[in-house]
Structure 1
């Protein structure tokens, strides 16, 4: 029933649009053939031919514009979009007018006059109308881009705040200091290294908070410092495997890896009997962070969902490649697109 209603509304909309096109075309019938109105018997054919030509050119050129828009966006490829648009409209207009010209001549024995003059007239009017439509389309695209840019600024600010809050939350600091207290008495050399890594973590957070993207190599070094602190706390109960990667020349949003590591540690059981295994590897233009699922019996954290949503929103600004999230086969997998 819904499909029938939507199909009916579609055709109603199309008929309304055709009616508007015909109304717009009427004044131009006088311009295109002023001598035709000297004979009242020809008025019906004049309006009929004029309406057919306008509807064919308007609807057809709209389809051509939509077809080009699917590959070349105004904001991203303005010059190429303009040149292809002009070429496409000229070619379509010429083909459509020639078809109408000879169809009327052979089917109704009606001569429209000199085909060259008709083609020139049609192309000129098509270009004038296309110029108006292009101006509207470009301004609409520019406005949408401005709105999207403003939205992304808010997303980036929110994401930076969320990442910073996750890293510098009282629980993380308390656990780190508690581990350091025990470590000072057990192994002073390791305690010094622990302080150095803790300092590296907080320094990186402060340095990267104003960046939209960061080198993957720097992100991986930061992740190592973060994991060192967590390994002191969990020992062999936290197992991390990092395969050989090629981080040169690719970037990701800062603190993305850390957020995924923190989520894995926060929401899964970690013990000697049930160690948490985290795998980090690079494959097919993505960086994957995979952990085995052994969820704690706690209410799902909103910050986790917000963090993943922020990462996806930030990526949508830089690339069309999606963030991969898969929760199956007793594993939780997140794939981050690598940006060049």
Structure 2
């Protein structure tokens, strides 16, 4: 009802601007009621139609992803619709109100009656286009800020996983034993540990990283864990190192860390993690053997990965769980690292 009221008000305003004296007498009002109805139909059709078309364009051509194309489509589609709707409306009203005179009118004369509706439509198009652009710009700013926060949360989560007291204690304890038992392995352990911190620092300002670099980083993390768990932790990585395939940094590492953090790992219950590519996705699967009294988790790692993928590609990650396994599928991205 509010839309009808607004459009009726616009119709009255248009007619008042054209013939204000008609509003100050009953005779004048009786003569312009059909003109008010004509203006009302035009306002309602142009406003509702252009708004609907704008929503359809929103679904196919985002202001953020296709700004130039969207601007062209907005102007062409909305104005073309406005012209056709105005022409049809003019034709119908003239043939109803002036049936005898209408028989002698040419197409060019009908078109001349659409000039004022097109002027109104141009104002509507400018308003809708400007509003859409500003809303798209506002959304891009919001998404950029959300991604920035997600990246910060990701870096914090990764660093927390690596520097928490349990990790440091276990790593230093393993390193102490290696120094006495195998000095070469101890030196390699230290190199891998430094590579982990270097990678986190190097990727802190990047939205995506090459799959090859992420896999190399994951290998470093796995090496440290296998010093502790030995053959009780088994990780099988089957990924092609394609430079064109990208992934948000630390996403694979987070999934591996989650699997290690929340599952029992022992000689009786070894943990198997499989990382492979399937149909344009990376699939990370581990056998499910949850700790009875594990660390509390709010799922921040998975929430972070979800948010980053929604911003970067709009493609959702897939999470499946059954009695035996837990699987996360990450879409592979194909664009240059920034």
TM-score under structure 1 normalisation? 0.87
- 1:26 is the counterpart of 2:12: yes
Q: SS of the residue aligned with 1:281?
A: strand
- Would the aligned equivalents of 1:164 and 1:209 in 2 still touch at CA under 8 Å? no
Matches within 5 A, 1:200-239: 200-239=195-234
Given candidates 311, 315, 321, the residue that maps to 1:327 is: 321
What is the deviation of 1:300?
A: 5.5
Given candidates 71, 87, 95, the residue that maps to 2:84 is: 95
State the partner residue of 1:74. 63
What is the deviation of 1:299?
A: 4.8
TM-align CA RMSD: 2.5
- Would the aligned equivalents of 2:214 and 2:249 in 1 still touch at CA under 8 Å? yes
C-alpha distance 241-151 of structure 1, shift in aligned 2 (>3 A): closer
Equivalenced residue count is: 325
Distance 2:87 2:207 in 1: 54
Q: SS of the residue aligned with 1:133?
A: helix
Unaligned runs of 5+ in 2: none
Once the two structures are superposed, residues 60-115 of structure 1 have per-residue CA deviations (whole angstroms, 9 ceiling, x without a partner) of 11111111121112233222112111211222122222322333345555568841
Distance 1:78 1:204 in 2: 35
Once the two structures are superposed, residues 101-158 of structure 1 have per-residue CA deviations (whole angstroms, 9 ceiling, x without a partner) of 3333455555688412222222222012221232233223222322332233222222
Distance 1:250 1:154 in 2: 24
Bigger relative contact order, structure 1 or 2, given CA contacts below 8 A and separation 6+? 2
Matches within 5 A, 1:151-230: 151-230=146-225
Q: SS of the residue aligned with 1:70?
A: helix
TM-score under structure 2 normalisation? 0.87
Matches within 5 A, 1:296-307: 296-299=291-294, 301-302=296-297, 305-307=299-301
- Would the aligned equivalents of 1:325 and 1:334 in 2 still touch at CA under 8 Å? yes
Matches within 5 A, 1:248-263: 248-263=243-258
- Would the aligned equivalents of 1:36 and 1:46 in 2 still touch at CA under 8 Å? no
When structure 1 is superposed on structure 2, of 141-150 and 221-230 the one drifting more is 141-150
- 1:315 is the counterpart of 2:304: no
- Would the aligned equivalents of 1:234 and 1:270 in 2 still touch at CA under 8 Å? yes
